[in-house]
Structure 1
């Protein structure tokens, strides 16, 4: 993959908000709304493109509070850089996660330096958890929000 990132535009945000995933990943589907489009266009969100894939986004990433899952059980501290990633549904499960995550970590690392990373992932998403573990993330905490259990993972 030959990846590049840019701040998310309104057109990109509208497209990404409409992505739909098949079971069991439909948890990540969204109902596009003006508020969601505005959020995706805010500072911590970046669209990712692959030169080989043409003008269609292959994913996006965010950092900071936008990457956290609001909850009452786990207090996020400022000791880590929180990251969130998402790939286009048709690209998942095909070996693209490694290059994509490596690119995101490099991009965020350029902005935040040597601070350790943290991410929060739904426990059912074993595919993503295996990827994160291959990149040196380890499980630190679990919490439940609604009917979903989340795992907080960190990488020093």
Structure 2
């Protein structure tokens, strides 16, 4: 696997990814705002195939949570968000995918913690994050969806 900045064409591919219910919550809108945001993300590739993406800092936070001050700044902590291509989810690929991303950002930043936010209904992802060493630290509700904020100490 390797990482590179997303091109406009690759960002458009991601916008077209469609997850099955209930994960369709993560489907992106096909609009200019989504495209512009994705251009701040990094693509994760396996060979020539775009298999996922990740984003950092404010791009990885739920906007309402950020507005309410639910993401306190901490020295040595970075927020991480990511997505795996729909065809690859639920097949045990996520552990390797997320570990790869964590290793990459650890090499770039002086970190001692990584924080992520996940929708509470996404039990499959929460179970994976716990296996990766993330612990639930807080929760909040935004737009009728409950979210968990999880932190992994490095």
TM class, shorter-length:
over 0.9
**2:71 matched to which residue of 1?**
76
Which whole-Å deviations, capped at 9, do the CAs of 1:93-121 have from their partners, x for residues lacking one?
00100100000101111121233100000
CA distance in 2, matches of 1:109, 1:22: 32
CA distance in 2, matches of 1:123, 1:74: 19
Gaps of 5+ in 2: none
Gaps of 5+ in 1: none
Q: Residue 131 of structure 1: which of 111, 128, 131 is its match?
A: 128
Q: Contact 1:74/1:143 (CA < 8 Å) preserved in 2?
A: no
CA distance in 1, matches of 2:111, 2:57: 15
Aligned pair count reads: 149
Q: Contact 2:119/2:148 (CA < 8 Å) preserved in 1?
A: yes
Q: Which runs of 4+ in 1 moved over 3 A?
A: none
Which whole-Å deviations, capped at 9, do the CAs of 1:8-48 have from their partners, x for residues lacking one?
11011000011100011010111211221111112xx1001
Displacement after TM superposition at 1:74 (Å)? 5.0
What aligned pairs does 1:53-132 form with structure 2 within 5 A after superposition?
55-71=48-64, 73=68, 75-79=70-74, 80-132=77-129
| TM-align CA RMSD | 1.2
TM-score (norm 2): 0.92
Larger strand proportion of the pair: 2
